[in-house]
Structure 1
C-alpha cells in the first residue's frame, strides 16, 4: 500500500502527483503508478518548479520515485521514454543506472533546484570499510547547477566526495546545492552565496567615472565553502534561499552569508539558542525556546509564539510549522500552497486542515506536502 501523502499548491506540470495538472488550494491525496514498489514509509521528499522526487523504503530497500515534467531531463532518460509529457503520478526513476553507477547502489538523499535533481546513492553497509557514496545530478545546467561543465547527455556522477567522506546534508537552493561537514557548493554565486567572506573593499572606475565593486564569478563548479566555525562546534543543518545561505551550528548560533537585499542576513549572528533554521527565497527563519524567529521588512527579528513547536519548514515563499499535533502556514499563497482553501496571502500563521495525524511535512516551490497517519 502506498503511503498517505497529500499535497497542495502549484501543479501546472503535474509535479504534485495528483493525477492532473491543476493547482489545488487544499491538501489532496497523491497518486502512485502501479509500477511503484509497495511501500508504506517515506524517507524524504523534495519538489521544485516542475518536478518532485520521493524516496520510499520497502522490504527490499530504498527506491527513488519522481513526478512532473521532464523537460530538462531532471527525471532521467527512462522517464522521458515512458512518460514524454508529464508524470501526474509518482513512478520509479533510474538515475543511478543512467549515470553509469552499475548495480548495488541505493538512493539515500534527494535535493532539487528549479529544474535539476540531485540524489546521493550509496552501497555497502554503514560503518563498513567498503561503504561508498556518490552524488548524481540530472536536468538543467543553465547556471552550472549540475556541478559539471557543458551539457551532459543524461544524469552524471559528480566528482565531489573525497576518500572516506560521506554526505551529511544535501540542500538545493534555486541555482545549486551545498553539503557538509566540509561544505561544498556549486551553481550561481552572484551574491556571494558560495563565499561567506566579503569581497575586498576595492573599486574600479567605470566608463562614467563611477566606482564599481569587483565582479563576482556568476557560476561555479564544486568548491569548498570556507565557513568560520568556532572550535568545538559543528554544522547541524543548512538552509538555502534564492541568493543567501544559512548554517546552524551545534552551539545554537547561525552563520549567514550571501545577499542581504531583504535583510535576510544582517543580525543573525547575534541570535542565540537556535534549534532549527529555514529559508525562503528572500527570508530567514529560526526556532528557539522563545518561538519562531520571523524576518520581516518592518521588524527584522519579529517573533511568533507557538505552543510546543516541533518542526519549522520553508517553501519558496511560505512557512510551515507543526505545533501541538497541528499544522500552521503563512506567507505567499498565489497557488493555494498554504492549504487553507484559497489563494490569499497570510501575514501570520493560520491552521491548515490535515487528514489524519501528521508524520512529516515538506515545503516546496509554491507547494506543501504532508505525510499523515490516517
Structure 2
C-alpha cells in the first residue's frame, strides 16, 4: 500500500503517491514460476524475510515447487538503476525500476548462499551468508560496498542510506567489533576524523571490547544504534552516532555525533530501575524499548 513512483509496491506499472484501493497483493509465486521455467509453486511459499529501503524491496522465500523440490529464492522490486537488484544478463544496464518482483541476479549471491540476513540502503543492497561472508550490490559511489568481500566471521549487518555496517564476535566471550564503510560527512562511520572518503575500518567505541557484548545493531537513515550488555554487571546500554539533525540521538542538541555516545541509560534514569531490551532506528528517529520491574 502507498506510493508506487518507483515500482515500490511490486504490483505493476501503477504510478502515483497513492491509489484508490487500500492495498494490493504482490505476486511472489508468479515471479518464482517465471524464474523456474514455469514450474509452479504447489505446496507452500514461506517468506523468510522482507527488507525495505527508501525505494526498493528485497524478499527471501522458500518455495515448494511442482516437482517436489524446495528451493530458496531472493526477489526484489522497486528502484534498480544502480544495480541494487542485480544486473540481468540480457540488459546492458539495469532499468530505472522493476514494477514487479524479479530474481535478484548476482553471481556472488548465487555462489555464497545460503543468505541469512539482508539489509538495504538507498542505492545498494548487502547480504550476509551462513559462512559469515558479506557481499553487496548496487552503488559504491560513497564507498558503501568497499571491502565487504574481504570480511569473514560476520554475525550481523546493517545499512544506512549510504553506508554499510558489519558486526562480528572476536572471541567466545562475546567480544566484538563493528566495521563501517560508506558516507562519513555526518560522522556516520563512528570515527574521530570525519572525511568524505571512507575505508572499511572499526567503529571507535570509547571502551574495551571485552567490557561490552553486542546484542543488536540498528541502522537508521544516516545514524546507527547499538544495544550492548555490559560484562561486569549485566546492565544494558545503548550507544549511537552519526546524523543528528532532528535530535534523533537525544543529545540535547542537533549537532552530529562523530564517535559513539551512550544514549541509554541517561544520567537521570536509575540503571537498575529501567533496562533497555531492544532498539530500532528510522528516518531521523530512534526507538528504545525498556522494561522496568514493578514491586
Q: TM-score, normalised by structure 1?
A: 0.56
Counterpart check, 1:323 vs 2:228? yes
Counterpart check, 1:351 vs 2:284? no
Q: Which residue of 2 aligns with 1:362?
A: 280
Offset, 1:199:
9.1
CA contact (8 A) 1:339 1:353 kept: no
Offset, 1:353:
2.9
For residues 335 and 342 of structure 1, what CA distance do their matches in structure 2 show? Answer: 9
For residues 318 and 165 of structure 1, what CA distance do their matches in structure 2 show? Answer: 35
The answer to which of 326-335 and 148-157 deviates more is 148-157
Offset, 1:359:
1.6
In the alignment of these two chains, the number of paired residues is 224
Unmatched 5+ residue regions in structure 2? 30-40, 61-71, 171-176, 183-195, 230-235
For residues 340 and 198 of structure 1, what CA distance do their matches in structure 2 show? Answer: 49
For 1:295-314, list aligned pairs within 5 A: 295-296=181-182, 297-304=196-203, 306=209, 307-314=212-219
CA contact (8 A) 1:196 1:257 kept: no
Q: Name the SS of the counterpart of 1:278 in structure 2.
A: strand
For residues 144 and 286 of structure 2, what CA distance do their matches in structure 1 show? Answer: 22
Offset, 1:197:
6.7
Q: Which residue of 2 aligns with 1:183?
A: 74
Q: Which residue of 1 aligns with 2:48?
A: 168
For residues 227 and 155 of structure 2, what CA distance do their matches in structure 1 show? Answer: 14
For residues 271 and 190 of structure 1, what CA distance do their matches in structure 2 show? Answer: 26
Offset, 1:179:
1.1
Offset, 1:267:
1.7
Q: TM-score, normalised by structure 2?
A: 0.71
Q: Which residue of 2 aligns with 1:146?
A: 9
Change (3 A) 1:155 1:193: same
Unmatched 5+ residue regions in structure 1? 1-137, 201-213
CA contact (8 A) 2:143 2:198 kept: no
For residues 229 and 195 of structure 1, what CA distance do their matches in structure 2 show? Answer: 9
Q: Which residue of 2 aligns with 1:269?
A: 149
CA contact (8 A) 2:87 2:94 kept: no
Bigger relative contact order, structure 1 or 2 (CA pairs below 8 A, ≥6 apart): 1
Deviation string 1:106-154 (CA, Å, 9 cap, x unpaired) is xxxxxxxxxxxxxxxxxxxxxxxxxxxxxxxx00111110111225422
